[in-house]
Amino acid sequence: MLAEYVRKDALLGKFFDVFLFEEEPACDVEARDLYLPEVEKSDIYLGILGAQFGNADADGVSPTEREYDLATVRGKERLVFVKKCERDPREERFVQKVQSDVVRKSFETAEELQLAVYAALVRVLENKGYIRVAPFDLAVDTNLTLADVDDAKVRDYLARAREAKKISVPKEADAAWLLTKLGMMVSGGRLTNAGVLFFAKYPQQAIDISVVKCLQYWGTHVERPIPSYQTYEDGIIGMIESALAFVMGRIDRTIGIPDERGLAAAQDELPRMAVREAIVNAVCHRDYESNGAVQVMLFRDRLEIMNPGTLPRGWTAATLLTTHESVARNKVIAKALDWAGYVERSGHGTEFIIEKCEAQGLATPQYKPDSAIFHTIIWRKTEKVHQVGGAMGGVEAQSGTSQGQVKGTSQGQVVSLFARITSILANQVLSSGEITAALGKEYYSGHLRRIIKMLLSDGIIEYTIPEKPRSRLQKYRLTEKGRQMLAVASSSIGKR
C-alpha cells in the first residue's frame, strides 16, 4: 500500500522511487545479495516495524535489521515507523535499538502510517531544498480565475459578513471586491488556494483533498455496517454547515416542560456552538498539504473529529486548555472564517468548546494531537432508558440533559429518534402518520420529517411506493441494511 501511495502521489511520485523486496521476481541469487545492494544505492532507508521479527540468520539477525545496520553504517537517512502492538521479543529488542539511534514515529492504522510517511518525506524534500513551501492558502496552485467564482457563494458570504459586523461591507460589494479584500486573488485575476476553497464553483475539481467525511456508528467503535456515511464536497462554509447538520440531525433533543403559554424550550444533546467550533477548527487548521481528509465520526458515546495536522512547535494538549496565542496554520482561511462570524473568540476556541460542554453537564472534551492527526473528542451523556413496545427496549441511549421530557418516555429520558423509528419499523410497515402516533407525538413535526428523510438517504428505511414519493398511500419499511443496523445495535447491548 505504502509503495503504491508514494509512487502515485502527485508530489512524492515526482521525487521518490521505491525498492520493495517483496516485488522482486524469483531469481538465482541469495536474498541478501539482492536487497543489501539496494540499500547501498538508496538515499533513504524507510523501516516499518511491526509484530514479527522475520527469519533470523545464523547470527540471530533478521533481513530488516541487516538493512537497517547497513543504512546506519553508510550514513543513509533513516525514517522508522513503529506499529503500536504486542510484538515478538526479538522484534522488541530491535525496536529498542532503533529508538536509541533515531526519532521514530508510531502508528496504529494504515491511514496514520500514510500520513506520517507523507509528512516525513515532505520534510526531507524541504531540508534538501527540492521544494520551497509557501503557506498553502496564499499559494496559487490552479489556473482558476474570477470567472470560476460562484456568485451564490459570494452573496452568502457577504450576507454572513454583514451580520457578523467584523468588517464594513459596502452595498456595491461584489466578488472582485471581496476576493481583493480577503487577499484571495493575485494580479491577473488568478485565485489563491484559499479563494478556490471558499468561492470556486467546483473547488474539489481543483483541490480534491478538500473534503469532509461524516460517519455515524451505533456502537462505541468503528464497525460495519456503517449506518450513515457522507462525503461533502463544497466550499469551506458549505462543508462546515453540512457537517454540522449531519451531527445535529443525528443526536437527541430534549423538550422541556411547557410554560403557561404552551411553549417548551428545546435543548440539543450536544451544544450546537461547541460542535460548530470543533468542525470549524478542523477545517480551518488542517494541513492542506496532506492527502488526508477531515473526518467527523459520531459514536454512541462521543463525537470525534479528526483532521490532518498537528500543533505549533512546543505546544501540547495542555496548551489548548488555557488561554493561548492564536497561531493559525492557514491565516487567510482563518481570517475569512472570522469575518463571516465562524470564529467565536480568537485563540479561545478550544476553551469555548470546553465551557459550552461543561455548562451542559457533559464530560470535559479532550484534545489528542500527534505529529500527523489532531483529534477532538466531545463526550455524549449516556443514560439507560427503556422504549415501550419496541425491539430496542433497553438500549443505552444518549440524553442531552436531565431535565424536560419527550412524550412517550419518562421525564429526563430521551431515546434517539433514529433508533426509535428503526425499532418501530422492525416488524411493521407504517405511514408517516402512523409513525408519529407510534412515537407518542401529536403531529408530524419538521424535525421528525428531517429524521425520516435522513433515514431514507442513508438507506436504512425505504418507500413502499418508491415511484410515487408523495402518494397519500405512501408508507415506510425497514431495508436489509436497516435490519443489519438493528442487529448490530442489539448485539452491542448484549455485549455490555
Q: Is the model more confident about 477 or about 387?
A: 477
Kindly indicate the confidence band of residue 390, based on its pLDDT and cuts at 50, 70 and 90.
very low
Are 29 and 80 in the same domain? yes
Mean pLDDT, residues 384-397 = 34
Q: Are residues 373 and 262 in the same domain?
A: yes
> Which of 379, 401, 416 is the C-terminal boundary of a domain?
379
- Give yes or no: residues 399 and 329 share one domain: no
Do 320 and 297 share a structural domain? yes
Residues 363 and 234 in one domain: yes
Cα separations (Å) of 126 from 9, 134, 202, 291? 17, 11, 31, 18
Question: What domain range is 226 assigned to?
Answer: 212-379
What pLDDT, on the 0 to 100 scale, is given for residue 252? 81
Q: Are residues 375 and 386 in the same domain?
A: no
Give me the pLDDT at residue 391, please.
Answer: 31
Q: Are residues 375 and 388 in the same domain?
A: no
The answer to whether residues 65 and 186 belong to one domain is no
Residues 370 and 269 in one domain: yes
| Average pLDDT value for residue range 182-204 | 93
Same structural domain, 243 and 302: yes
Q: What is the CA radius of gyration of the chain?
A: 27
58-62, 320-324, 470-474: least confident range: 320-324
Q: Which position has the higher pLDDT, 457 or 69?
A: 69
Lowest average pLDDT, out of 4-13, 125-134, 196-205, 247-256, goes to 125-134
Q: What is the pLDDT of residue 262?
A: 64
Residues 220 and 291 in one domain: yes
Res. 389: pLDDT tops 50: no
Mean pLDDT, range 112-125, rounded to an integer = 90
Of the candidates 93, 127, 161, which is a domain's last residue? 127
| Range in 2-16, 343-357, 388-402, 470-484 with the lowest mean pLDDT | 388-402
Per-residue pLDDT averaged across 59-75, rounded? 92
For position 327, which CATH number holds? 3.30.565.60
**Residue 460's domain is classified under what CATH number?**
1.10.10.10
Model pTM score: 0.61
Q: Which residue, 90, 109, 127, sits at the end of a domain? A: 127
Q: For 258-317, what is each residue's pLDDT tens digit?
A: 666 666 677 889 999 999 999 999 999 998 888 889 999 999 899 999 999 877 666 676
Q: How large is the average pLDDT for residues 105-117?
A: 90
Q: What is the pLDDT of residues 391-400, one digit of tens each?
A: 333 333 333 3
Structural domains counted in the chain: 4
Q: Are residues 280 and 356 in the same domain?
A: yes
